Structure 1
Amino acid sequence: MCWSATADLVAGTGIAVIGVAAVAGTRRARDLPLAALPLLLGAHQIIESVVWRSDGGTGPATVAWAVVALPLLAVWVPLGVYCAARHRVRTRLLVPLAAGAVTAVFLGYALAARPVTAEVRGHTLGYVLDLPHPQWLIAGYLLATVGSLLLSGDRRLVLLGVLVAVGAAVCAALWRLEFISTWCAFAAVCSVVLFDWARRRPRAVAGGRAGAVSGG
């Protein structure tokens, strides 16, 4: 989330460009889901620029924003980490992947059964959705997203997990004050980290396993 429609549009476009570069530089097919994450984050920011220009409400852009932010990311991140991970660490990544799948089911059901509303609050947008047992859903979401990165066994992805955790805490604090939304800045930083990660990944070895993961 950014602090205005223009900021969201500019940030989203820039993040999407980073995503295109990350995908173009990917050397192994199994790294593509994670390398493409900045593309999804960029599209998410662009969608929110539409929500800003609509003054919030319950329109299609609001629903699309919530679908990406809630069930889709809850599955995309742990699945991307699982696909990219070395075989010896994949077993432990099944826990955040399962947590993401279960969380996504509940979040998807909530979005299908209940309306989601966006409200302009100063320089922030607030999204309101009546979730059952929100504390459990938040825990499952964080385990799926931040947890999978921290358990990845790759130094750059662990760094990304730390950045996401810190960024979420800072952005949540500023959002509660209705001062300014800064998530787009953290999304940009995270996208640069993912671009660097994708660029440094080893090439796939035909007929065999690739070499050790750079930085892992």
Structure 2
Amino acid sequence: MCWSATADLVAGAGITAVGAVAVASAVRRPRTLPLAALPVLLGGHQIIEAEVWHRNGGTGPATVAWAVIALPLLALWVPVAVLCAAPAGARRRLLVPLAAGAATSAALAHTLATRTVMSEIRGHTVGYSLGLPHSELIVAGYLLATIGSLLLAGDRGLVLFGVLVGVGAAVSFTLWRREYISTWCAFAALSSVLLTLWIRRPGPAGTDAAGHPR
């Protein structure tokens, strides 16, 4: 999320464009396609939030779409994408964050289907509330599925990506709690560029520049 509708729209368009480059680069490495598409998803997510700003929050379709992407979809998409792209030696341990992501995604999808998600403009941020049951457990599962899968990927580029995402999430959450400017859009943009560079590196996924298995 960014600090205004315009910032969300501009950042979202830029991140989506970077994602398009990543997807085009991943065509020759099909296992990396789900991960390459992540910036496109994040960019679209921010464009949707621009509409939330324009609607002044509330419970409309834009708010629901934002929550569906942010909660159940990303909780499952990220660990699946990392599992597809990671070196073969890391895939067994990645089943743990994948299981956490599947369980967390199911719980979040059920909550979205049975409760009303609300968005509210809070100064320079948008706040979202859903009334999650067992929120601490769900947050732990979400972090294990998303950031945890990257940190366990067994690839230096993906681990660095995971560290960046973790730092960005922590900083953005701290500033959001203070109802100050959210910096998540900047971290999303930087992360998307890093991910695109990883996709475009020499050699197929799971190998070094010479194509040898890692």
State TM-score, norm by structure 1: 0.94
**1:9 corresponds to which residue?**
9
Please list every run of at least 4 consecutive aligned residues from structure 1 whose deviation after the TM superposition is greater than 4 angstroms: 209-216
Which residues in structure 2 correspond to 1:9-88 (within 5 Å)? 9-26=9-26, 27-88=28-89
Q: Paired residue for 1:99?
A: 100
- Measured after TM superposition, the shift of residue 213 of structure 1 is 6.7
* 1:133-172 equivalent positions in 2, closer than 5 A: 133-172=134-173
Q: In percent, how many aligned pairs have the same letter?
A: 66
**Structure 1: segments with no counterpart, 5+ residues:** none
Q: Is the 8 A contact 1:2 1:182 kept in 2?
A: yes
* 3-state DSSP of counterpart to 2:17: helix
Cα deviation for residue 86 of structure 1 reads 1.6
* Number of the residue aligned with 1:176: 177
Residue type of the partner of 1:41? L
Alpha-carbon deviation of 1:87? 1.5
Gaps of 5+ in 2: none
1-structure distance, mates of 2:211, 2:185: 29
Contact 1:9 1:49 in 2 (8 A): yes
Q: Look up the equivalent residue of 2:16 and give its one-letter code.
A: A
CA, structure 1 residues 77+213, in 2 after alignment: closer, same or farther (shift >3 Å)? Answer: farther
SS at match of 2:143: helix
How big is the shift at 1:214? 8.5
Show the counterpart of 1:193: 194
CA separation of 1:215/1:184 partners in 2, compared to 1, >3 Å: closer, same or farther? farther
State the AA in 2 paired with 1:42: G
Q: Cα distance, 1:14 vs. partner? A: 0.1
- Deviation string 1:88-125 (CA, Å, 9 cap, x unpaired) is 11000000000000000000000000000000000000
CA contact (8 A) 2:78 2:146 kept: yes
Distance 2:108 2:123 in 1: 27
Q: Which amino acid aligns with 2:76?
A: V
TM-score normalised per structure 2: 0.95
- 8 Å CA contact retained: 2:202, 2:208: no
The question of whether the paired residues in 2 share the 8 Å contact of 1:100 and 1:141 is answered with yes
Give the counterpart letter for 1:182 in structure 2.
Answer: T
Contact 2:31 2:84 in 1 (8 A): yes
Separation of aligned partners in 1, 2:70 and 2:30: 25
8 Å CA contact retained: 1:174, 1:181: yes
* Aligned length, in residue pairs: 212
For 1:174 and 1:79, locate their aligned partners in 2 and report how far apart those are by CA, in whole Å.
Answer: 30
Aligned amino acid, residue 148 of structure 1: S
| 212 and 86 in structure 1: CA distance in 2 versus 1, 3 angstrom threshold | farther
